[in-house]
Amino acid sequence: MNTIQILITDDDMEIAELIKIYLTNEGYQVLIAGNGREAMEVIAKENVQLMILDVMMPEMNGLEVVRAVRAQYGIPILMLSAKAEDMDKIMGLTTGADDYMVKPFNALELIARVKSLLRRSIYLNTQLQTAQEQDIIQIHPLKISKKSHTVTVEDRGINLTSTEFDILYFLASHAGQVFSAEAIFEAVWKDKFLESTNTVMVHISKLRDKLDSELGGVKLIQTVWGVGYKIEP
């Protein structure tokens, strides 16, 4: 029996209950939220490991929920929508969703996508745990050691400031997750973020310049417009 908790967020309770039946039959524990605000309250209290999220909802729509979740959590998100246009899918994925399905959907395909997202999430978390136990995080040719506070590419050291190193280590140790400037600031500076400050943007810009030149132009730190920054594993 799986102990994985999945949160379904949809204002259409008939669809939510139907999906719950599919997932419960697969052995998952299922929670239901009727709107985005309720979903954020559930995530704050429960160990949610995957989220199935409708786009069109009152109070707080799906895209707003994705932005809010991505600012704090790395939970895999599967978006559901009646909108089948390519731009709607692109908007959902670039906002921070991991997958996108159009209603009406095939139950077997839904289950397959849920399992695929969970496998990827477990794999990434295992990689991260192993790297942290060894005190080395390796992203592509980049090696980051927290103990020695060094960053190397093919044995060449990259000269980073303490703050630049902390930002890089934070993003690399949560590879695949998107973090807002606010979340990065509060994690690295250990202080409350001020809305008017562009401190994070300035430091990331300088960090990118140093990394890009050493990585032959490879863009390690990616911008997810309207959401924040991430490093892909």
Summarize pLDDT for 108-130 with one digit per residue, the tens: 999 999 998 888 777 666 666 66
First to last CA, the chain: 30
Same domain, 108 and 27: yes
What percentage of the chain carries pLDDT values higher than 70?
91
Upper half-sphere CA count for residue 103 (Cβ side, 13 Å): 17
* Predicted confidence (pLDDT) per residue in 11-32, tens digit: 999 999 999 999 999 999 999 9
List alpha helices for the chain, DSSP H: 13-25, 36-45, 62-70, 86-95, 107-133, 162-172, 181-188, 199-214
Rounded to 5 degrees, what angle do the CA atoms 39, 126, 225 make? 50
One domain, residues 152 and 187: yes
Is 151 a residue whose pLDDT tops 90? Answer: yes
Last residue of a domain, one of 109, 134, 159: 134
Tally the domains of the chain: 2
pLDDT per residue as tens digits for the range 162-217: 889 999 999 998 888 889 888 898 888 877 776 656 888 989 999 999 998 888 87
* 23 and 129 share one domain: yes
- One domain for residues 109 and 34: yes
Supply the pLDDT for residue 196: 55
- CATH number for the domain including 210? 1.10.10.10
Domain boundary among 134, 149, 165: 134
Q: Are residue 25 and residue 54 in the same domain, yes or no?
A: yes
Higher-scoring residue by pLDDT: 8, 216: 8
* 183 shares a domain with 84: no
Q: Tell me the whole-structure pTM to 2 decimals.
A: 0.58
Strands 99-102 and 77-81: parallel
Residue range(s) defining the domain that contains residue 141: 136-231
Pair (168, 121) in one structural domain: no
Rounded CA separation 43/40 (Å): 5
